C-alpha cells in the first residue's frame, strides 16, 4: 500500500441552493474519475429539495454534511486537499466575503481559505443580481484571498455549467 492509498486526495464539494444544483452528481462523477475522494457540504437551503441527497450520499459513500457536529463527536470528513463551491449562490458569495459563518458551508469556506487550501468557485448568479455592487466587491475581496473563480453562469436553462472545469481550478 502506498502513502497515497492511506491518505487519498480529499475534495470538499460545497453545494448552495441554486436550481442547477440538481446536476451536482456530474461534478462528483468527474472528480471521482480524477481520483478524488469526495465529501459534500450543502447549505441548509440546498438540502431542502435542490438536489437528490440520497443519490449523492450513495455516490460519495458518505453522509452529506450541513450542520455542525456535536462537541466531542469525531470529525466526519478528513481535512480537504481542495474545495470547490458549485453552484455558488449570490447569498453565499456575499456572506463569505463579509466573514459571516452562520452555515457550516460558510464556516468551512472561511476556515479552509485561511488555511491556504485551494478553493475553486463556480457562481450561478443572474445578471440582475451580479450587477449589485456588493456582489462585485465580494468577488474582488475573495479573489484577493486567493479564491479562484470559474466562468460564471446566469442560471439560464440549457446553458453549459462548467462542472468539470471547476476541478481544473484546484488541480
Ligand atoms: C428554484 C430556485 C432556484 C434558485 N436559483 C438560484 C440561483 O441560481 N442563484 C442564486 O444565487 N440563488 C438562487 N436561488 C435563491 C437561493 O436559493 C436563496 O438566495 C438562498 O437563500 C440561498 O441560500 P444558500 O446561499 O445558503 O444556499 C434559487 C431559489 C429557488 C427557489
Q: Using the mean position of ligand 1's atoms as its centre, give its distance from the Cα of residue 143 in Å.
A: 22
What is the structure's pLDDT at 6? Answer: 72
Query: 125 in ligand 1 pocket by Cβ < 6 Å?
Result: yes
What is the structure's pLDDT at 1? Answer: 47
Point out the least confidently predicted range of 49-63, 88-102, 150-164: 150-164
Domains of the chain are 3-168 (3.40.50.1950)
- Rounded CA-CA distance 116/81 in Å is 10
Sequence-ordered strand ranges (E) for 6-159 = 10-15, 37-42, 82-88, 119-123, 148-149
Q: What percent of the chain has pLDDT over 90?
A: 88
Q: Using the mean position of ligand 1's atoms as its centre, give its distance from the Cα of residue 20 in Å.
A: 10
Query: pTM for this one?
Result: 0.96
Query: 46 in ligand 1 pocket by Cβ < 6 Å?
Result: yes
Digit-coded pLDDT (tens) for 96-142: 999 999 999 999 999 999 999 999 999 999 999 999 999 999 999 99
Taking 3-state DSSP, the helix, strand and coil percentages for the chain, each rounded to the nearest 5, stand at 40, 15, 45
Q: Whose CA is nearest to atom 19 of ligand 1?
A: 91
Amino acid at each position: 500500500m502506498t502513502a497515497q492509498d492511506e491518505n487519498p486526495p480529499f475534495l470538499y464539494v460545497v453545494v448552495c441552493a441554486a436550481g442547477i444544483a440538481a446536476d451536482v452528481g456530474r461534478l462528483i462523477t468527474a472528480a471521482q474519475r480524477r481520483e478524488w475522494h469526495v465529501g459534500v457540504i450543502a447549505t441548509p437551503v440546498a438540502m431542502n429539495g435542490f438536489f437528490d441527497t440520497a443519490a449523492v450520499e450513495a455516490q460519495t459513500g458518505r453522509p452529506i454534511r450541513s450542520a455542525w457536529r456535536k462537541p466531542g463527536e469525531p470529525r466526519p470528513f478528513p481535512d480537504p486537499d481542495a474545495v470547490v463551491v458549485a453552484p455558488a449562490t449570490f447569498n453565499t458569495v456575499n456572506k463569505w466575503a463579509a466573514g459571516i459563518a452562520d452555515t457550516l458551508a460558510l464556516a468551512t469556506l472561511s476556515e479552509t481559505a485561511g488555511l491556504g487550501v485551494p478553493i475553486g468557485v463556480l457562481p450561478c448568479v443572474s445578471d440582475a443580481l451580479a450587477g449589485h455592487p456588493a456582489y462585485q466587491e465580494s468577488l474582488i475581496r475573495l479573489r484577493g484571498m486567493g479564491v479562484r473563480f470559474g466562468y460564471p453562469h446566469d442560471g439560464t436553462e440549457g446553458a453549459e455549467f462548467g462542472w468539470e472545469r471547476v476541478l481544473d481550478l484546484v488541480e
